[in-house]
Amino acid sequence: MNLPGLSPYILTIGPLQIHWYAVFIVSTVVIGYAYLYRQREHLGLSEDLLTNGMLWGVVGGVVGARLVFVIFNEPSWFVTDPVQILRIYDGGLAFHGAVGGGLLAAWLYLRRKEVAFGRFMDCLIPGLAVGIMLVRIGNVFNHEVLGHFSIYAPGGEWPAQLIGGAIGTFLIFRYFWYAKKNPPPGAQFWSALFYYSLIRGFIGETIRANPTLFVHYENPVLGIGFITVEQVFTPLLLIGTYYFWHRAVKLGEAKPVATGQVQA
């Protein structure tokens, strides 16, 4: 969706400009923290541990998301315009970088705190899913993440932001559906990443107007194209997340998990 008249700013007062994108990022953090707070007793976390772990995760997630985006999309910024790397409010965050950076930072803090980290990872999924939806809405305001033109698309262009945001909706519904099956620690997290990589790689990236690598195919009638940078790494992501998902399931079969771990 490309809406030229849409302003990226929610508020402008003199030199102060507040971006919609920034508001959605902050909202994601608040919602994710609220859900973790609700689950803190099941996770064995005090309020201090939860807050500090969340802060570490947020900082690590933002750093990881921005670095991965810049490395794969605008590596020249490291030399020509380093300040641009800090302007995250203009958009440009990579989901897998956010997950990897945030998870690593939280783990470094919580690893010696006797926390059930597998359960902690699982409870991150609702916040991440909401973040996927809100960030894609922010992309609409920033006039980025556009889709290919197609005669079959509404308005002649695939609404890549809305299709990308729909993945987050799917992950939320799947999270609470899967919770009823009482999955072992880690299974929720890795399975969600598996499905995210699968849907984004084969649908979201195919209709999104991204630069292609190796195979440069575009169909202007259907409005599809491949292979993008994300699609190059999709097979590795699927193999890795599938492995850890089923590893968690096998560990859970060997050691039964207590019920009632997740509240709606």
Q: Which two tokens stand for residue 246?
A: 């089923």
Q: Where are the domains of the chain?
A: 9-254
In degrees, to the nearest 5, what angle opens at C-alpha 41 toward C-alphas 38 and 46? Answer: 95
**DSSP 8-class letter at 222:** T
Write the pLDDT tens digit of every residue in 34-43.
999 999 888 8
Distance from first CA to last CA of the chain, Å, rounded?
Answer: 33
Nearest to 199 by CA among 163, 147, 245: 163
Write the pLDDT tens digit of every residue in 13-65.
888 888 898 899 999 999 999 999 999 888 888 899 999 999 999 999 999 99
Residue 50, C-beta contacts closer than 8 angstroms, at least 6 positions apart: 33, 36, 37, 40, 43
Q: Cα separation of 113 and 36, whole Å?
A: 16
Handedness of CA 167, 190, 100, 264 (dihedral sign): positive
Name the percent of the chain in helix, strand, coil, to the closest 5.
65, 10, 25
Write the pLDDT tens digit of every residue in 190-204.
999 999 999 999 999
Q: Which two tokens stand for residue 181?
A: 């099956």
Residue 31: how many CA atoms within 13 Å on its side-chain side? 17
For residue 47, the SS3 value is helix
In degrees, to the nearest 5, what angle opens at C-alpha 251 toward C-alphas 245 and 256? Answer: 120
Nearest to 140 by CA among 156, 124, 123, 162: 162
Write the pLDDT tens digit of every residue in 113-166.
888 889 999 999 999 999 999 999 999 998 889 999 999 998 899 999 999 999
For residue 212, the SS3 value is strand
User: Can you give the pTM of this predicted structure?
Assistant: 0.88
pLDDT of residue 17: 86
